[in-house]
Amino acid sequence: MIAEIRLFLLRSLTEMRYDTDGIDDDTVLGPAGADLESLALAELAMRVEDQYGVRFLDDEAERFAAMTVGEFCAAVENRVKAASAT
Amino acid sequence: MSATGAVTGIGLVSPVGVAVETVFDAVCSGRSGLTRPPEDHPLHGVVDVAAFGPPIAADSVLAPKDARTVDRSIVMALRAAEDALADAGIVVGRDVDEYRVAVVLSGVGGLETLAQQALERSRRGRLGVSPFMLPGVLPNMAAARTAIKFGIRGYTSSVGTACAAGGQSLGEALRILRAGEADVVVCGCTEAPLFPTFADAFGNALALARGWPDPASASRPFDRRRNGLVLGEAAGVFVLERPEFARARGADVRAALLGWGATSDAYHPTTPRPDGSSAAESMRIALRDAGLEAGDIGYLNAHGTSTKAGDAAETKAIHGVFGANMPPVSSTKGVTGHMLGASGVVEAAISVTALRRGLLPPTHNLDDPDPACDLAHIRKEPLAATVDAVMSNSFGFGGHNVSVIFGRADG
């Protein structure tokens, strides 16, 4: 599932017109890497909710900035699994 | 008499061009910006005729991630601001302290973006609403984006007086310069009203011109057969400076903003006060502010939107102020349509160019002047005349009246 989430993330970044060249699992999503600003991170959280039906609350979405692509995909996967387990 | 504002830069995005000279030549020659909406445009079938500005790629004024989230009103404003600053030869931080530059950039805001978001909200619920909606919609964002793009860190504001907002932004800029609160003011207005909900609002209010087989003939200020305005989109930005500051940096000063006046009808939200008395008073205040008499005005660019009530009320107002000293008058909306608040800035640019070129543009489509609009019309052909001062009127829904007066740079 991680691979699919990674594809979803890259597609989202492309639609949001961020440069995805050179982005890999170690790239940080926030200003230190892919350079997503706070509203873009908020939009990303909405896209996750729309796609996977799981919601990240405000403080969780804010933590996306410090996450790498790999960490973000794992976090989404964990949330989806937790949601489907209940 | 108090200080003036030096006009050192102008940037326009209008239905008849982006370069000031191109716009001026269009209003002089009657090259119309009025067209039927193309079949692939959302306004097709909604309105008979509209005045579209040129396409401007959002990517040409913003980084791609920002370009995705802004309204057309912002894109046009940034292009006009960029052109105005380049025209003035100003790089903020190099030529002027970043805190000594102000921005007064107005307009109704990104209402098309708001309309789209409302549709998405009703279709998809909460997830249809973009977190980027507010920077797309708020009416201060043209000013804010301009400040961000050009590193301008002084006073910033946005005037909300509908179709008077452009003229009033020039006036507020002059007030800021006179108070010494800035050396340079980037001021103007941007309007992008060409989407169905907004157009229907004007249409259902019976404000739009209708039934004209030739779209170019639909806007006909002061003409007996006029039956409404033609909606247009535009942005206009002036760079105004304290004259001492402009001189010290060796700027090419095109004209001087000598004075302005503003009044309120205190009458009705949309209908102008029929006797034009408040509009007349705004012109008188502008004359006093500029230290001029009525007879000093050599050209008047009227608001003249081509509505029955508006043109007649403005005629009364002009008679009340000028009497036997009436200057040649025209409304250039016959070729540009009504660009709402941005009209005041585009028309200020036209008025300044008329002053500099000694050529006064005519009112296009004024084939049969309405007896209720008995002004000293310039018709069919531009009028060659040496003039030392020009006035431009802007009136807005709400009963806002603004008049600005420009004179020669060396005056």
Query: By the CB < 8 Å criterion, does B94 face chain A?
Result: no
Do the interacting molecules here have an ipTM over 0.85? yes
CB pairs under 8 A between A and B: 20
Query: By the CB < 8 Å criterion, does B264 face chain A?
Result: no
Q: Where are the domains of chain B?
A: 5-248, 259-408
Decide if B5-248 and B259-408 have a common fold: yes
> Taking CA B186 as the corner, what is the angle to CA B181 and CA B187, rounded to the nearest 5 degrees?
100
pLDDT for the residue B200:
97
B303 is catalytic: yes
Q: Is residue A59 part of a domain?
A: yes
pLDDT for the residue B23:
98
- What's B82's DSSP letter? H
Indicate the range of A36-45, B177-186, B348-357, B385-394 predicted with least confidence: A36-45
Q: Is residue A21 part of a domain?
A: no
Indicate the range of B1-5, B234-238, B272-276 predicted with least confidence: B1-5
Domain count, chain A: 1
* Cβ within 8 Å of residue B11, ≥6 positions away: B18, B79, B80, B81, B82, B83, B84, B85, B86, B87, B188, B235, B236, B237
Residue from B338, B364, B377, B400 carrying the catalytic annotation = B338
Helix, strand, coil content of chain A in percent (nearest 5): 65, 0, 35
Would you tell me which CATH number, out of the four given (3.40.50.300, 2.60.40.2310, 3.10.180.10, 3.40.47.10), belongs to the domain B5-248? 3.40.47.10
Residue type, B308: K
DSSP B305-321: -S-HHHHHHHHHHHHHH
In angstroms, what separates the C-alpha of B304 from chain A's closest C-alpha?
Answer: 43
Q: Is residue A18 part of a domain?
A: no
In angstroms, what separates the C-alpha of A32 from chain B's closest C-alpha?
Answer: 17
Residue from B28, B187, B303, B377 carrying the catalytic annotation = B303
C-beta of residue A12 within 8 angstroms of C-beta of residue A42: no
- Give me the domain span that covers residue A65: 2-13+27-85
How confident is the model over B50-102, as pLDDT tens digits? 999 999 999 999 999 999 999 999 999 999 999 999 999 999 999 999 999 99
Chain A residue numbers with beta carbons less than 8 Å from the beta carbon of B135 are 39
Q: Is residue A48 part of a domain?
A: yes
Average pLDDT for B22-38: 98
CATH (domain of A55): 1.10.1200
* Cβ within 8 Å of residue A13, ≥6 positions away: A20, A23, A34, A36
Cβ–Cβ below 8 Å for B67 and A40: no
Class of domain B259-408: alpha beta
